[in-house]
């Protein structure tokens, strides 16, 4: 297909510099396995699972067939006051995979909706148990929880927040970021830090607000969108203990770490910590069709059901027209079956080691490289910014890699590779060598 087969004038691209894009469009028209075909007929290897979504690789027949079959059986059904069979089956499967008593699934359509849903559950739950004064949320600097006003407010990426002013939620605070500059190079292991990154939470933030006013703390187990920053060893366990001590709910945003990225079902399993709510999206359907959700511990649901209101009254005034859409849920069931059948989570763990080794052996010592972090099936190379032009070096490198047939992800001045779990060593070599060439060229 030639570029002039379509007009790029009407589509306003998300999280994209549109002015530059229109000068040099990058348009996919087909995908299979590890590769895309572009509008100008080139093959591009998908080094980022298409934004952390496509764990099983592209164009997987079992998922496609399940969607087609579902379309011919029950295309859509109202989600309120009635339900569809696929939503129950998908919820059962997801709950069975989740650790501890994370058993109740609220479906939505995206990671952003999952963030807002989990925050609303937290407020409603505390109110139901007579603690309505608990209405403060704590996020973390450089956290990403999507683009709804709730998720944006607890999120900590400055560019995503700065023009929204007082529209951000008022009763929100942020913990300090988790990156220790002494741990610039992390090679397939949890970083160990001399710094106590939770001291400030305990000694300043919680006393400032009074812990009994705090509804929930929300974190990504690994800071994905910021550029694959890993929590210091023991951090999440201690965060769990602090929350327990003060009756604060702990929410893990596992939109990236959920469903295999760490080599386990969830980041919660990798770190051995069970949150009170676990947000998911992306890999649950292999990215093929939108689906998100929040898995809640039994106590949240049980508390909300323990109401004196008559039985015809709704217990939680929240939901989306497409909550538990039958086609999305059928896709999720097929996707999760496929991950299991092909052993793709353990495979992600194994290939993560190969990716990490390749990053450290190839990038260390290249011009402008100031850090390398690898754990799970994702790795990041951090570059010194160009003076006065933050983000430009990584963006230029991203463009160059794309021209050379490799899709990588720029995040500030970090470049991340997080391929599908079906990745082979040859793809990793191609991705890493292409990125190394570009890093040298942009010295």
The residue ranges that bind ligand PLP (CB under 6 A) are 110-112, 115, 144-146, 220, 224-225, 253, 255-256, 281
* Minimum distance from residue 128 beta carbon to ligand PLP (Å): 26
**11 or 364: CB nearest ligand PLP:** 11
338-367 burial: b if 16+ Cβ within 10 Å, else e: bbeeeebbebbbebbbbbbbbbbebbeebe
Q: Which is nearer to ligand PLP, 147 or 386 (CB)?
A: 147
| 111/156 with CB nearer ligand PLP | 111
Residue with tokens 């990793």: 428
Q: Do 87 and 76 form a contact (C-beta atoms < 8 A)?
A: no
| Dihedral of alpha carbons 227, 147, 29, 1, sign | negative
211 or 287: CB nearest ligand PLP: 287
Whole-number minimum distance, CB 111 to ligand PLP, in Å? 2
CB of 253 to ligand PLP, least distance (A): 4
Q: Which is nearer to ligand PLP, 379 or 432 (CB)?
A: 379
| Closer residue to ligand PLP, CB minimum distance, 223 or 432 | 223
Under a CB-based contact definition with an 8 Å cutoff, are residues 3 and 40 in contact?
A: yes
Task: Supply the minimum distance, in Å, between the C-beta of residue 221 and ligand PLP.
Answer: 9
Taking the complex as a whole, the smallest distance from the CB of residue 40 to ligand PLP amounts, in Å, to: 27
Residue number with CB closer to ligand PLP (112 or 362): 112
Longest dimension (CA), the chain: 69
Of all residues in the shown chain, the one whose CB is closest to ligand PLP is 111
Nearest distance, CB of residue 334 and ligand PLP, angstroms: 20
The least distance separating ligand PLP from the CB of residue 257, rounded to whole angstroms, comes to 8
Q: CB nearer to ligand PLP: give 146 or 352.
A: 146
Rounded to a whole number of angstroms, the minimum distance from the CB of residue 400 to ligand PLP is 24
Phi-psi region of 425 (alpha: psi -120 to 50; beta: other; left: phi over 0): alpha
Nearer to ligand PLP, 12 or 365 (CB): 12
Cβ 110 to ligand PLP shortest distance, Å: 3
Compute the distance between CA of residue 84 and CA of residue 322 in angstroms, rounded to an integer.
Answer: 11
């Amino acid at each position: 297909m030639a570029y002039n087969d379509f007009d790029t004038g009407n589509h306003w691209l998300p999280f994209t510099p549109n002015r530059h894009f229109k000068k040099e469009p990058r348009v996919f028209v087909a995908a299979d396995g590890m590769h895309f075909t572009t509008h100008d007929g080139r093959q591009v290897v998908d080094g980022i699972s298409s934004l952390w979504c496509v764990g099983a690789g592209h164009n997987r027949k079992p998922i496609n067939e399940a969607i087609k079959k579902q379309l011919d059986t029950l295309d859509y059904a109202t989600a309120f006051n009635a339900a569809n069979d696929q939503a129950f089956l998908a919820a059962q499967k997801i709950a069975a995979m989740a650790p501890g008593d994370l058993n109740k699934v609220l479906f939505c359509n995206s990671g952003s909706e999952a963030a807002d849903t989990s925050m609303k559950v937290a407020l409603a739950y505390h109110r139901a148990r007579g603690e309505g004064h608990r209405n403060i949320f704590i996020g973390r600097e450089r956290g990403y929880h999507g683009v709804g006003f709730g998720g944006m407010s607890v999120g900590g990426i400055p560019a995503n927040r700065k023009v929204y002013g007082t529209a951000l939620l008022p009763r929100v605070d942020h913990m300090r970021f988790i990156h220790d500059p002494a741990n610039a190079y992390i090679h397939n292991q949890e970083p160990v830090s001399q710094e106590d990154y939770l001291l400030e939470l305990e000694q300043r933030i919680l006393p400032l607000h009074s812990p009994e006013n705090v509804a929930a703390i929300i974190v990504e187990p690994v800071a994905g969108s910021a550029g694959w920053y890993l929590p210091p060893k023991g951090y999440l366990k201690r965060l769990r203990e602090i929350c327990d001590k003060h009756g604060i709910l702990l929410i893990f945003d596992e939109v990236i770490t959920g469903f295999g990225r760490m080599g386990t079902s969830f980041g919660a399993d990798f770190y051995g910590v069970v949150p009170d709510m676990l947000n998911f999206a992306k890999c649950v359907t292999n990215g093929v069709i939108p689906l998100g959700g929040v898995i809640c511990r039994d106590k949240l649901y049980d508390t909300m059901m323990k109401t004196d209101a008559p039985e015809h009254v709704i217990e939680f005034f929240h939901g989306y027209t497409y909550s538990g859409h039958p086609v999305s849920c059928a896709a999720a069931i097929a996707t999760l079956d496929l991950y299991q059948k092909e052993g793709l989570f353990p495979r992600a763990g194994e290939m993560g080691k190969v990716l990490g080794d390749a990053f450290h052996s190839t990038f260390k010592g290249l011009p402008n490289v100031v850090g390398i972090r690898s754990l799970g099936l994702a790795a990041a190379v951090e570059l010194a910014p160009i003076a006065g032009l933050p983000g430009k070096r990584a963006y230029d490198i991203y463009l160059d890699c794309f021209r050379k047939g490799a899709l990588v992800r720029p995040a500030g001045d970090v470049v991340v590779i997080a391929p599908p779990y079906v990745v082979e060593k040859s793809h990793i070599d191609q991705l890493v060598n292409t990125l190394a060439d570009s890093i040298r060229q942009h010295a």
